[in-house]
Amino acid sequence: MTVFLYLRDATPFSKLNALPSKGQPISAFEDKDAAWLMVLRGIKKLLAP
């Protein structure tokens, strides 16, 4: 299931990028494990101090 949210500039989420990159759904990746790894790395990067 994909949920798209329309966010305004005033929200703290408006600067977040889609994961995996370019908003491509994981189901579109030939290698699903690689797609999930990109998501994991993106989340880790976001949460890193």
For residue 11, being part of any structural domain is answered with no
Could you tell me if 35 and 26 are in contact, meaning their C-beta atoms sit under 8 angstroms apart? Answer: yes
pLDDT by residue for the chain (49 residues), tens only, comes to: 455 555 556 666 667 778 887 778 889 999 999 999 998 898 898 888 7
Cα 14 from Cα 35, distance rounded (Å): 23
For residue 4, being part of any structural domain is answered with no
Could you tell me if 17 and 38 are in contact, meaning their C-beta atoms sit under 8 angstroms apart? Answer: no
For residue 47, being part of any structural domain is answered with yes
CA angle 12, 28, 8 (to 5 degrees): 20
What pTM does this model have? 0.65
For residue 3, being part of any structural domain is answered with no
For residue 2, being part of any structural domain is answered with no
Residue 34: domain span: 16-49
DSSP annotation of 17? P
Total domains in the fold of the chain: 1
Give the ranges where 1-49 is alpha helix by DSSP (H). Answer: 32-47
